[in-house]
């Protein structure tokens, strides 16, 4: 507890500057100013690259942070969302599954906080480890996971990935504590702070909802092609859940279906959208297909839960 208080006190100066900045300003705030616990010995430097579309992709995150996007006060609803980009716990699709989402939320009156959580350390000069369950073409057939307890982790027992997942959830919990502690500064209702996670970021988001830590859990949970990466035992405090996924996303589709079923079996609110003809992540990129409407469905869900402003819809 003292560590959390000290961390929050150290951040106060930066928070104050953000609070008086113009609406929709962007400010990046380190979650652990004195060093992120558990990764003190990580030594590979963070790097930023660009995708073919020009979006930023970040690897080797060792210093977790939140980038703040505040809506126009005229339409602000008081709701907020942590945004966890995806990337198999190895990279972060920071723009397409982060910044673009925050701006979309701002247009609907919701504050967005893009989370840069810790990712697997990868030596850029070393050969890339293949993704679990994804053998190189022609080497072995791909087999769907057998989903048990709604756990769609493709690499159970991988110690390094398990540790990164644990640290990413800790970063998410620290983000919730920080936002709620400074809710007045950002004009946010601390009882309406949720999370939107993509791919592995969705798994991290689910992990934050399953963890029992007062003040560090989401009030609503949005998982976009992000199945659980751990056994799901739905807690009493489980928030309303929204899921969007492609119908043929290897391992992920079945994991999301199992997550939805677990929520419903526990009597918790859940909504699921499965899009035909989609086999991978779609993010905020338009494809000219029905899946492009997933943000419309999310917007309707947010409005129904009195989280989004009804202005500027679409």
pLDDT in tens, 123-182: 887 776 666 555 566 666 778 899 999 999 999 889 999 999 999 999 999 999 999 999
Assign 26 a pLDDT band (cuts: 50, 70, 90). Answer: confident
Kindly tell me if the per-residue pLDDT of 252 is higher than 90: yes
Pick from 227, 217, 312, 291: nearest CA to 263: 227
Q: What is the pLDDT of residue 239?
A: 96
Are the CB atoms for 120 and 161 separated by under 8 Å? yes
Query: Is pLDDT at 282 greater than 60 in this prediction?
Result: yes
What pLDDT does residue 133 have? 56
pLDDT, one tens digit per residue, over 172-205 is: 999 999 999 999 999 999 999 999 999 999 999 9
Mean pLDDT for all residues in the chain: 89
Mean of pLDDT values over 222-248: 97
**For residue 89, what are its two tokens?**
């716990």
In this prediction, residue 22 has a pLDDT band, given cuts at 50, 70 and 90, of very low
- Work out the pLDDT band at 297, boundaries 50, 70, 90: very high
Q: How confident is the model at residue 213 (pLDDT cuts 50, 70, 90)?
A: confident
**In this predicted model, what pLDDT tens digit does every residue of 28-75 receive, in sequence order?**
999 999 999 999 999 999 999 998 888 999 999 999 999 999 999 999
The pLDDT of residue 246 is above 80? yes
- With bands split at pLDDT 50, 70 and 90, how would you rate the model's confidence at 10? very low
- Lowest-confidence range among 77-86, 134-143, 249-258? 134-143
What CATH number is given for 2-123+144-304 in this structure? 3.40.50.1820
Q: Tell me, what's the pLDDT at 311?
A: 58
Mean of pLDDT values over 111-119: 98
Q: Write down the pLDDT at residue 21.
A: 40
């Amino acid at each position: 507890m003292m560590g959390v208080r000290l961390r929050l006190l150290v951040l106060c100066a930066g928070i104050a500057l953000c609070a008086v900045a113009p609406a929709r300003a962007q400010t990046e705030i380190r979650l652990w100013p004195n060093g992120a616990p558990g990764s003190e010995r990580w030594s590979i430097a963070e790097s930023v690259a660009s995708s073919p579309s020009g979006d930023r992709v970040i690897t080797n995150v060792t210093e977790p942070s939140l980038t703040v996007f505040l809506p126009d006060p005229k339409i602000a609803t008081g709701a907020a969302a942590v945004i966890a980009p995806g990337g198999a716990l190895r990279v972060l699709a920071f723009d397409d599954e982060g910044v673009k989402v925050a701006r979309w939320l701002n247009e609907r009156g919701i504050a967005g906080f893009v989370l840069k959580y810790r990712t697997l350390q990868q030596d850029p000069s070393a050969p890339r480890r293949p993704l679990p369950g994804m053998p190189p073409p022609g080497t072995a057939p791909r087999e769907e996971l057998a989903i048990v307890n709604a756990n769609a982790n493709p690499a159970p027992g991988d110690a390094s990935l398990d540790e990164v997942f644990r640290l990413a959830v800790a970063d998410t919990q620290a983000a919730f504590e920080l936002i709620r502690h400074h809710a007045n500064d950002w004009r946010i209702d601390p009882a309406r702070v949720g999370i939107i996670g993509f791919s592995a970021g969705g798994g991290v988001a689910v992990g934050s909802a399953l963890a029992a830590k007062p003040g560090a859990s989401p009030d609503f949970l949005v998982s976009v092609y992000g199945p659980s990466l751990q056994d799901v035992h739905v807690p009493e405090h489980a928030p309303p859940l929204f899921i969007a996924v492609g119908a043929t996303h290897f391992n992920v589709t079945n994991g999301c279906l199992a997550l939805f079923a677990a929520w419903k079996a526990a009597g918790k609110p859940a909504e699921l959208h499965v899009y035909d003809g989609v086999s991978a992540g779609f993010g905020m990129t338009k494809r000219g297909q029905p899946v492009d409407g997933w943000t419309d469905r999310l917007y309707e869900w947010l409005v129904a839960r009195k989280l989004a402003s009804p202005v500027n819809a679409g």
